[in-house]
């Protein structure tokens, strides 16, 4: 009865309470920002800082890759503090909560870039130099968000940063992995070939990038995947680069190119490799998962059956790359043994190219975003 | 009221003349109202109506409406989760089932699922189920059928105090309290109900595929801990003999607690779910000449659904005050709430029942309904409204012929005017042929409709559930319409009642969430939340359900048994937007075979003690789904006992105890896959009811006149 009584009282209180808490947006911001401020204050060792910006992931493999990346940056840039942020709120929430938080261990507060930048500008911290490094692969839509965070910060969008500080702070931006269509593309192709030339010498290696949907290919950054494939094929004709979102470059198109190259001999393996900073949902599911269109489950099917399911854009949805390339009649061998489950940040030589971009940014001219929300 | 009193007395006399107050007789002597909106003896109702009687409810002692319907009627299926009960009746889901509480629409849903915890399982007098379309009478949503929950009434006691407390495994608590007062022409009834369960976990395994590492220690539960409570008050005033007026209201709150584990992708949750409901109603009934009457009702209902944050949670693209303040990120702190949707509905009803010459009975009326939805994070433009006006008329015509033969015809039509769709017209025709006393043959053709809800028209939100999903409304939706045909035969002879009903329900322009290619979705969402899958409400071209429901009830001395069987087949032609072609599928959740069984024995050992025992079974074949596996078939058995202690002057006592799922069946499919049933395995329960009553007329509950068990209790 005691339990019942207390439950009843609790429920009555719940019922009687106001229907919705009246939240003061400013106060929430202050509380949240304060947590970020404290983290930065506590960990500040230098007067220069590097902020790495990734989309985010909730995979343990991704957490580990990010940890290694931060360690590598700390070792390379000894005069800089290094922090890593996520731009995905869902990933931030899930990484920070749960048993990890309850146990006081492994709390992963990635925070969103604007909070980090504000924390860098707080009184008592005020880094003299802030380097923002994009961990994106192509200079596409996600990268524009990174630029906008810096613009908002430089223009004091929230009006809570000292203008005097903003006029003095040196802001720098490290570009994505494939920013430069010649040098970066060539460097990445070389690094990948050094790693996978053995596989490519007799079999096929296909990289799965993300890409932007057609309507959001604002900066025409998708072309980098095509350029990378060309650069790789200059080293070996057995390399291919496809995406999950770029028009005309889905797995079906990659397959067409493989067939056109006469590689579907029946004996060649197709090695699959994510072309993303980390190996997360896309790598484990879209690439190496077991997704197969429902109508074929438990039945035998061929690559022709799968291709007949292609949508208007030529993509076979709900079908992983592994299942697709490994389908009967594809002319290839593709199964769990040909999955290369590694994100690009896990490849030291590729990570080095990002690090080089950071070094270039440090060596280069500071950004001039102050009082210019939309610079050329 | 005069009509009701006369009808009640007539039925009482009729009931007393029957040789045995058997289980079956209890059923057929029920007065039902749902099918036609007019009172009929069940056996003479022109439309096939299934009744879960007070006695069956008491024998079964269900913890929730889900358990009651699932255990006592073969055509129902449930798969409870945080998002609702996922009620299905003859293959169609909750969106197509109209649930009424005392004839009034239940209000509020999440994803088309009504919150069935609003129904207090210990305050149900009986449940009437009318299958098939009833839109001519009830308007939108009555496509698969109507479930009318009739609550217990306490109008005759001077003072009534009632407490029922049921306690079961997993800290399952059901508490019902009532205080009734009668001061001359004014009466008051206060009800409080509390429901709580700690929830349970049938498996700690997550469904992972491909190269995902397996997870065997997930914190996700099969059914989460939840608590809800409701306080309701109603005043009734009878200023004159033939006029009754009422006014009342209720408040309700519910919270679903979501445990938090350590796998960020699977079992980490940063908010609980919370509901807040409120209602206010007033109305009255004026008795006219003979059995005629006019009634009116005015109701306002609110159902608010919110996230209750348990950890600091960042949301993206937060807009406050309709776009005047925008934050790319906005943090919510623990113990704060974020409103997801606030559905408010105001309804006005006017109804009249008039006897016309030539054996005609006219039921006519009008309805105006105004819906208002505020869903700051889920609707473009944040707030939307919709309204529907309707008038309807239904005529019943009865003629006896030959020796004990009877023909009964009922036809009705409804005209609707909707803000979105203009005029629509919905008919219903039913016929009953009675051949002698034992045979009843009934046939129905009716149309149903369902107007797209404000949610279906305007929703736009992102949800995490086994991946990230974008849900989109669709402004070009049309109302769904249906044609329902049924033919049933009923044979009743003393202690035996057999009914067989065949039906065919064809639903057109059916609205459902369809997975659409991401390129058809707003690109900003795809980019922001990728990887994401998109689902949009669409008028899928058509869907069909067909089946046969079979029921047999038989009683012998103190034993009563019943057997229910439901055969179902479904198919739906869904529009596959990826291929611009139709795709034939089975409706999610379809099980071809379902059944229920019960055997009860009631015996009064002495004036002060009566024992009731029951063995109840429910079974289902495999439930089919398009994605994430099929639900396994199951059978679950339940043993119930009830103990009535009588002979206290003003107080009655009743205790119940039982075991559900005797053979401890548990579906342990990993989280993320469909379950046949969410039962936690073998559970135990005990309950105690105390009822104190003082004052005039105690012990006569009108619609329960033939319920021998209750009668004997209350006569004590």
Answer whether A19 touches B (CB < 8 Å).
yes
Q: Which CATH architecture has domain A40-177+351-363?
A: 3-Layer(aba) Sandwich (3.40)
Banded model confidence at residue A170, pLDDT cuts 50, 70, 90 = very high
Query: Cβ–Cβ of A114/B579 closer than 8 Å?
Result: no
Total beta-carbon pairs less than 8 A apart between chain A and chain B: 185
Of B315, B526, B580, the CB nearest to A213: B526
Give dist(CA B570, CA B573) in Å, integer: 10
- H-only helix segments in chain A: 2-16, 25-43, 60-76, 89-96, 99-102, 113-121, 141-154, 163-168, 183-202, 223-235, 251-260, 281, 303-308, 321-325, 348-363
Answer whether B265 touches A (CB < 8 Å).
yes
Give dist(CA B111, CA B107) in Å, integer: 13
Q: What is the pLDDT of residue A163?
A: 87
Q: Does residue B710 carry a pLDDT above 60?
A: no
* Chain B residues in contact with A315 (beta carbon < 8 A): 517
Averaged pLDDT, B321-327: 58
Please tell me what DSSP assigns to residue A221. T
Banded model confidence at residue B26, pLDDT cuts 50, 70, 90 = low
- If DSSP codes are grouped into helix, strand and coil, which group holds residue A213? coil
User: What is the per-residue pLDDT across B451-480, written as a single tens digit (0 to 9) for each?
Assistant: 888 878 887 777 665 556 788 888 778 889
Of A21, A114, A288, the CB nearest to B337: A21
User: What is the per-residue pLDDT across B617-653, written as a single tens digit (0 to 9) for each?
Assistant: 999 999 998 878 899 999 999 999 999 997 667 888 9
Residue B626, classified by CB atoms within 10 Å of its CB into exposed (0-12), middle (13-18) or buried (19+), is middle
Q: Does residue B708 carry a pLDDT above 60?
A: no
> Residue B473: CA atoms inside 13 Å, Cβ hemisphere, count?
19
* Chain B residues in contact with A281 (beta carbon < 8 A): 265, 467, 531
> Residue A82: CA atoms inside 13 Å, Cβ hemisphere, count?
18
Least confident span in B3-17, B71-85, B192-206: B3-17
User: What is the per-residue pLDDT across B114-127, written as a single tens digit (0 to 9) for each?
Assistant: 999 999 999 999 99
* CB contact set of A20 (below 8 Å; sequence gap of 6+): B304, B306, B337, B339
* Chain A residues in contact with B330 (beta carbon < 8 A): 25, 28-29
Answer whether B715 touches A (CB < 8 Å).
no
Whether the Cβ atoms of residue A85 and residue A96 lie closer than 8 Å to each other:
no
Banded model confidence at residue A22, pLDDT cuts 50, 70, 90 = very low
User: Is the model more confident about A285 or about B213?
Assistant: A285
Domain span at B695: 2-183+191-715
Query: Among B236, B134, B118, B123, which Cα is nearest to B183's?
Result: B236
Banded model confidence at residue A26, pLDDT cuts 50, 70, 90 = low
Task: Please give the angle made by the CA atoms of B285, B287 and B291, to the nearest 5 degrees.
Answer: 125
Q: What is the pLDDT of residue B18?
A: 34
In Å, how far is A366's CA from the nearest CA of chain B? Answer: 25
In Å, how far is B331's CA from the nearest CA of chain A? Answer: 6
* Chain B residues in contact with A96 (beta carbon < 8 A): 311-312
Give dist(CA B575, CA B512) in Å, integer: 11
Query: Cβ–Cβ of B527/A90 closer than 8 Å?
Result: no
Probe site for chain A from B328, B331, B469 (most A CB atoms < 10 A): B331
Question: Checking DSSP bridges between strand B50-52 and strand B124-131, what pairing results, if any?
Answer: antiparallel
Query: Cβ–Cβ of A210/B530 closer than 8 Å?
Result: yes
Return the HEC string of B80-108: CECCECCCEECCEEHHHEEEEECCEECCC
Q: Does residue B157 carry a pLDDT above 90?
A: no
User: What is the per-residue pLDDT across A343-371, written as a single tens digit (0 to 9) for each?
Assistant: 999 999 999 999 999 999 999 888 877 65
Is ipTM beyond 0.85?
Answer: no
User: What is the per-residue pLDDT across B476-532, written as a single tens digit (0 to 9) for each?
Assistant: 788 899 999 999 999 998 899 999 999 999 999 888 777 777 777 777 777 766 667
Q: Peptide bond before A17: cis, by omega within 30 degrees of 0?
A: no
Probe site for chain A from B190, B312, B533 (most A CB atoms < 10 A): B312
Q: Does residue B702 carry a pLDDT above 90?
A: no
Owner of token pair 């096939």: B48
* Chain A residues in contact with B313 (beta carbon < 8 A): 93, 97
- What is each CA distance from A11 to A6, B342, B406, in whole angstroms? 8, 20, 53
Query: Cβ–Cβ of B306/A20 closer than 8 Å?
Result: yes
The mean pLDDT of chain B is: 86
Banded model confidence at residue B11, pLDDT cuts 50, 70, 90 = very low
Q: What is the pLDDT of residue A141?
A: 83
Q: Strand pairing partners for A154? A: none
Query: Cβ–Cβ of A289/B209 closer than 8 Å?
Result: yes
How many CB atoms are closer than 10 A to CB B362?
16
How many CB atoms are closer than 10 A to CB B466?
16
Probe site for chain B from A5, A6, A98 (most B CB atoms < 10 A): A98
User: What is the per-residue pLDDT across B545-567, written as a single tens digit (0 to 9) for each?
Assistant: 999 999 999 999 999 999 999 99
Using CB atoms and an 8 Å cut-off, which of residues 155-214 of chain A contact chain B?
Answer: 210, 212-214
Query: Cβ–Cβ of A15/B253 closer than 8 Å?
Result: yes
In Å, how far is A363's CA from the nearest CA of chain B? Answer: 31
Q: What is the pLDDT of residue B464?
A: 60
Answer whether B212 touches A (CB < 8 Å).
yes
Query: Cβ–Cβ of A93/B314 closer than 8 Å?
Result: yes
Rg (CA), chain A: 24
Whether the Cβ atoms of residue B229 and residue B192 lie closer than 8 Å to each other:
yes
Using CB atoms and an 8 Å cut-off, which of residues 504-523 of chain B contact chain A?
Answer: 517-519, 523
Q: What is the pLDDT of residue B44?
A: 86
> What domain count does chain B have?
1
Whether the Cβ atoms of residue A282 and residue B209 lie closer than 8 Å to each other:
no
User: What is the per-residue pLDDT across B266-320, written as a single tens digit (0 to 9) for each?
Assistant: 888 999 999 999 999 999 999 999 889 999 999 999 999 999 999 999 987 666 6
Query: Cβ–Cβ of A97/B627 closer than 8 Å?
Result: no
Query: Cβ–Cβ of A94/B337 closer than 8 Å?
Result: no
Residue A337, classified by CB atoms within 10 Å of its CB into exposed (0-12), middle (13-18) or buried (19+), is exposed
- What is each CA distance from A298 to A292, A301, B543, B555, in whole angstroms? 10, 9, 25, 48
Banded model confidence at residue B576, pLDDT cuts 50, 70, 90 = low
- If DSSP codes are grouped into helix, strand and coil, which group holds residue A372? coil
Least confident span in A14-18, A195-199, B188-192: A14-18
Query: Among B508, B491, B519, B356, which Cα is nearest to B434's?
Result: B491
Query: Cβ–Cβ of B316/A89 closer than 8 Å?
Result: yes
User: What is the per-residue pLDDT across A62-79, written as a single tens digit (0 to 9) for each?
Assistant: 889 999 999 999 999 999
Q: Does residue A285 carry a pLDDT above 90?
A: no
In Å, how far is B31's CA from the nearest CA of chain A? Answer: 36
Banded model confidence at residue B580, pLDDT cuts 50, 70, 90 = low
What's the N-to-C CA distance of chain B in angstroms?
Answer: 27
* CB contact set of B467 (below 8 Å; sequence gap of 6+): A281, B531, B532, B533
Return the HEC string of B92-155: EEHHHEEEEECCEECCCEECCEECHHHCCHHHEEEEEEEECCCHHHHCCCCCCEEEEEEECCCC
Answer whether A306 touches B (CB < 8 Å).
no
Q: What is the pLDDT of residue A11?
A: 47
Of B173, B261, B339, the CB nearest to A98: B261
* Chain B residues in contact with A31 (beta carbon < 8 A): 331, 333
- H-only helix segments in B495-585: 523-529
Whether the Cβ atoms of residue A221 and residue A248 lie closer than 8 Å to each other:
no
Q: Does residue B233 carry a pLDDT above 80?
A: yes
Closest residue in A to B263 (Cα) is: A98
- What is each CA distance from B566 to A364, B91, B550, B591, B597, in whole angstroms? 76, 10, 6, 9, 12
In Å, how far is B189's CA from the nearest CA of chain A? Answer: 18
User: Is the model more confident about A214 or about A133?
Assistant: A133
To the question of domain A183-276+289-338 being in CATH 3.40.50.620, the answer is: no
Query: Cβ–Cβ of A12/B229 closer than 8 Å?
Result: yes
- What is each CA distance from B381 to B282, B319, B337, B388, B524, in whole angstroms? 33, 10, 20, 21, 17
Can you give the pTM of this predicted structure? Answer: 0.84
Probe site for chain B from A10, A19, A39, A219 (most B CB atoms < 10 A): A19
Cα-Cα-Cα-Cα dihedral of B642, B646, B651, B652, to 10°? 20
Give dist(CA A344, CA A128) in Å, integer: 31
Query: Cβ–Cβ of B231/A12 closer than 8 Å?
Result: yes
In Å, how far is B226's CA from the nearest CA of chain A? Answer: 11
Of B229, B263, B332, the CB nearest to A15: B229
Give dist(CA A117, CA A357) in Å, integer: 20
* Secondary structure (DSSP) of B404-455: TEEEEEEEEEEEEEETTTEEEEEEEEEEEEEETTTEEEEEEEEEEEEPPPHH
- Fold agreement between A40-177+351-363 and A183-276+289-338: yes
Answer whether A58 touches B (CB < 8 Å).
yes
* CB contact set of A17 (below 8 Å; sequence gap of 6+): none
Averaged pLDDT, A148-169: 87
Please tell me what DSSP assigns to residue A338. G
Of B194, B251, B310, the CB nearest to A7: B194
Q: What is the pLDDT of residue B324?
A: 54
Domain extent listing, chain A: 40-177+351-363, 183-276+289-338
| CATH number of the structural domain spanning residue B270 | 2.40.170.20
Query: Cβ–Cβ of B194/A4 closer than 8 Å?
Result: yes
Probe site for chain A from B578, B586, B625, B686 (most A CB atoms < 10 A): B578
Closest residue in A to B517 (Cα) is: A317
Helix (H) or strand (E) holding B713: helix B708-715
The percentage of residues in chain B with a pLDDT greater than 90, rounded to a whole number, is 61
Answer whether B324 touches A (CB < 8 Å).
no
Residue B470 dihedral angles phi and psi, to the nearest 5°: -105, 125
User: What is the per-residue pLDDT across A107-151, written as a single tens digit (0 to 9) for each?
Assistant: 688 999 999 999 999 999 999 999 999 999 999 888 988 998 998
Answer whether A296 touches B (CB < 8 Å).
no
* Chain A residues in contact with B175 (beta carbon < 8 A): 4, 8
User: What is the per-residue pLDDT across A215-269, written as a single tens digit (0 to 9) for each?
Assistant: 666 678 999 999 999 999 999 999 999 999 898 999 999 999 999 999 999 999 9
The mean pLDDT of chain A is: 88
* Chain B residues in contact with A24 (beta carbon < 8 A): none
Residue B449, classified by CB atoms within 10 Å of its CB into exposed (0-12), middle (13-18) or buried (19+), is buried
* Chain A residues in contact with B276 (beta carbon < 8 A): 15, 19
Probe site for chain A from B328, B343, B533, B584 (most A CB atoms < 10 A): B328
């Amino acid at each position: 009865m005691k339990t019942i009584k207390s439950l009843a009282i609790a429920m009555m209180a719940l019922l009687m309470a106001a229907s919705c808490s009246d939240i003061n947006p400013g106060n929430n911001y202050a509380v949240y920002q304060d947590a970020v401020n404290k983290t930065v204050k506590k960990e500040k060792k230098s007067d220069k800082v590097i902020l790495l910006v990734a989309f985010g992931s909730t995979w343990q493999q991704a957490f580990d890759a990010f940890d290694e990346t931060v360690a590598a940056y700390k070792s390379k840039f000894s005069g800089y503090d290094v922090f890593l942020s996520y731009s995905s709120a869902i990933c931030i929430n899930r990484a920070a909560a749960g048993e990890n938080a309850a146990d006081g261990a492994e709390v992963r507060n990635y925070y969103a870039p604007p909070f980090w930048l504000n924390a860098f500008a707080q009184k008592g911290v005020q880094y003299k130099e802030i380097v923002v490094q994009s961990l994106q692969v192509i200079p596409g839509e996600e990268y524009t968000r990174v630029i906008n965070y810096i613009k908002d910060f430089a223009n004091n969008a929230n009006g809570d940063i000292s203008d005097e500080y903003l006029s003095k702070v040196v802001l720098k931006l490290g570009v994505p992995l494939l920013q430069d269509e010649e040098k970066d593309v060539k460097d990445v192709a070389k690094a990948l070939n050094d790693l996978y030339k053995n596989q490519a010498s007799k079999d096929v290696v296909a990289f799965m990038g993300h890409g932007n949907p057609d309507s959001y290919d604002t900066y025409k950054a998708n072309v980098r995947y095509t350029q990378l494939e060309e650069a790789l094929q200059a080293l070996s004709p057995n390399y291919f680069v496809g995406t999950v979102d770029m028009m005309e470059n889905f797995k079906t198109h990659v397959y067409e190119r493989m067939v056109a190259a006469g590689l579907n001999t029946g004996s060649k393996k197709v090695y699959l490799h994510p072309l993303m900073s980390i190996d997360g949902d896309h790598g484990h599911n879209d690439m190496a998962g077991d997704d197969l269109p429902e109508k074929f489950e438990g039945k035998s099917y061929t690559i022709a059956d799968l291709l007949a399911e292609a949508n208007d854009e030529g993509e076979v949805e709900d079908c992983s790359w592994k299942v697709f390339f490994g389908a009967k009649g594809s002319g290839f061998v593709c199964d769990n043994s040909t999955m290369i489950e590694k994100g690009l940040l896990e490849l030291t030589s590729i990570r080095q190219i990002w690090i080089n971009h950071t070094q270039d940014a440090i060596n280069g001219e500071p950004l001039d975003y102050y009082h210019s929300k939309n610079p050329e | 009221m005069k009509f009701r009193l006369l009808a009640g007395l007539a039925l009482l006399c009729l009931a007393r003349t029957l040789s045995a107050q058997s289980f079956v007789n209890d059923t057929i002597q029920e007065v039902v109202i749902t099918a036609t909106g007019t009172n009929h003896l069940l056996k003479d109702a022109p439309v096939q109506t299934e009744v879960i009687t007070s006695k069956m409810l008491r024998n079964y002692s269900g913890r929730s409406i889900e358990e009651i319907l699932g255990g006592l009627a073969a055509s129902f299926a449930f798969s409870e989760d945080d998002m609702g009960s996922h009620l299905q009746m003859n293959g169609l889901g909750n969106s197509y089932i109209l649930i009424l509480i005392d004839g009034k629409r239940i209000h509020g849903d999440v994803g088309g699922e009504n919150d069935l915890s609003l129904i207090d399982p210990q305050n149900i007098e009986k449940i009437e189920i009318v299958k098939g379309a009833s839109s001519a009478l009830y308007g939108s949503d009555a496509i698969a059928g109507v479930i009318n929950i009739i609550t217990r009434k306490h109008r005759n006691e001077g003072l009534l105090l009632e407490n029922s407390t049921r306690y079961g495994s997993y800290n399952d608590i059901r508490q019902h309290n009532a205080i009734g007062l009668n001061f001359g022409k004014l009466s008051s009834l206060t009800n409080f109900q509390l429901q709580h369960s700690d929830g349970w976990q049938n498996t700690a395994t997550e469904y992972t595929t491909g190269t995902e590492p397996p997870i065997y220690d997930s914190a996700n539960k099969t059914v989460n801990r939840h608590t809800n409570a409701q306080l309701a008050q109603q005043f009734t005033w009878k200023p004159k003999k033939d006029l009754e007026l009422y006014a009342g209201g209720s408040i309700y709150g519910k919270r679903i607690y979501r445990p938090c584990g350590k796998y960020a992708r699977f079992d980490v949750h940063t908010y609980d779910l919370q509901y807040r409901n409120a209602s206010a109603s007033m109305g009255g009934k004026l008795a006219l000449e003979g059995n005629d009457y006019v009634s009116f009702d005015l109701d306002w209902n609110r159902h608010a659904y919110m996230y209750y944050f348990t950890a600091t949670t960042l949301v993206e693209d937060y807009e406050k005050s309709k776009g005047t303040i925008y934050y790319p990120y906005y943090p919510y702190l623990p113990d704060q709430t974020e409103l997801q949707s606030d559905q408010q509905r105001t309804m006005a009803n006017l109804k009249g029942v008039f006897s016309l010459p030539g054996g005609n009975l006219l039921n006519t009326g009008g309805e105006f309904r105004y819906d208002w939805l505020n869903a700051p994070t889920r609707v473009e433009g944040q707030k939307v409204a919709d309204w529907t006006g309707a008038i309807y008329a239904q005529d019943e015509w009865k003629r006896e012929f030959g020796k004990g033969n009877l023909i009964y015809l009922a036809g009705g039509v409804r005209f609707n005017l909707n803000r979105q769709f203009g005029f629509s017209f919905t008919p219903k025709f039913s016929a009953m042929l009675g051949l002698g006393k034992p045979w009843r043959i009934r046939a129905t053709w009716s149309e149903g409709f369902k107007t797209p809800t404000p949610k279906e028209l305007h929703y736009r939100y992102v949800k995490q559930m086994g991946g990230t999903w974008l849900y989109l409304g669709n402004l070009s939706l049309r109302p769904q319409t249906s044609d329902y045909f049924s033919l049933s035969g009923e044979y009743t002879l003393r202690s035996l009642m057999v009914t067989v009903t065949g039906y065919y329900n064809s639903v057109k322009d059916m609205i459902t969430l369809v997975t659409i290619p991401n390129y058809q979705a707003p690109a900003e969402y795809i980019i922001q939340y990728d990887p994401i899958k998109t689902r949009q409400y669409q008028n899928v071209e058509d869907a069909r359900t067909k089946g046969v429901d079979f029921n047999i009830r038989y009683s012998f001395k103190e034993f009563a048994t019943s057997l229910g069987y439901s055969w179902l087949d479904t198919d739906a032609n869904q529009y596959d937007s990826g291929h611009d072609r139709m795709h034939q599928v089975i409706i999610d959740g379809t099980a071809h075979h379902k059944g229920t069984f019960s055997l009860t024995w009631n015996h009064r050992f002495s004036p002060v003690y009566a024992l009731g025992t029951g063995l109840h079974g429910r079974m289902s074949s495999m439930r089919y789904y398009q994605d994430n596996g099929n639900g396994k078939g199951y059978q679950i058995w339940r043993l119930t006992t009830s103990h009535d202690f009588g002979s206290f002057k003003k107080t009655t006592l009743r205790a119940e105890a039982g075991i559900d799922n005797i053979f401890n069946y548990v579906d342990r499919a990993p989280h993320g896959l469909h379950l046949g049933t969410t039962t936690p395995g073998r559970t135990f329960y005990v309950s105690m009811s105390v009822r104190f009553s003082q004052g005039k007329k105690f012990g006569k509950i009108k619609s329960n006149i033939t319920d021998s068990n209750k009668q004997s209790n209350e006569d004590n």
